[in-house]
């Protein structure tokens, strides 16, 4: 875990561009200031295609753009506990369909 996580989208991209060879999983809040989450996600995947990008949000999954969830490698509903995050990481790339309305292949986790 990072001690000082990026405060906005550009900081996230800057950090990833410097350290991308050491990062295999990104936990990305759905609402990031300064840049769209979709733009951040696409930039990360372009820099290092195998990077796992998990989305997290306090919003319900029904309030989040479906295409954004499809492009990600999973979704965690806040609040979540570390075991939820561990399970999301362990499940990838074998994603499971857990909620109707979301295409097969998307991991959807909610707080325990």
Distance CA 43, CA 11 (A): 13
- Using left for φ > 0, alpha for ψ between -120 and 50, and beta otherwise, residue 76 falls in beta
Please say whether the beta carbons of 76 and 109 come within 8 A: yes
pLDDT of 101: 40
Distance CA 73, CA 54 (A): 5
Give 72-102 pLDDT, tens digit per residue: 998 999 998 888 888 888 877 534 333 334 4
Higher pLDDT, 63 or 99: 63
- Name the β-bridge partners of 74: none
What structural domains does the chain harbor? 9-109 (3.40.50.2300)
pLDDT of 105: 43
Distance CA 62, CA 109 (A): 13
Give 33-47 pLDDT, tens digit per residue: 989 999 999 999 999
Higher pLDDT, 104 or 69: 69
């Amino acid at each position: 875990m990072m001690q000082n996580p990026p405060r906005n989208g550009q900081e996230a991209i800057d950090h990833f561009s410097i350290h991308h060879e050491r990062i295999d999983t990104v936990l990305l809040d759905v609402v990031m200031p300064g840049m769209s989450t979709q733009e951040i996600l696409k930039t990360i995947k372009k820099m290092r295609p195998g990077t796992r990008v998990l989305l997290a949000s306090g919003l319900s999954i029904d309030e989040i753009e479906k295409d954004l969830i499809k492009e990600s490698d999973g979704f965690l509903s806040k609040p979540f506990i570390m075991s939820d995050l561990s399970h999301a990481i362990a499940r990838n790339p074998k994603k499971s369909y857990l909620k109707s309305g979301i295409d097969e292949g998307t991991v959807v986790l909610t707080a325990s």
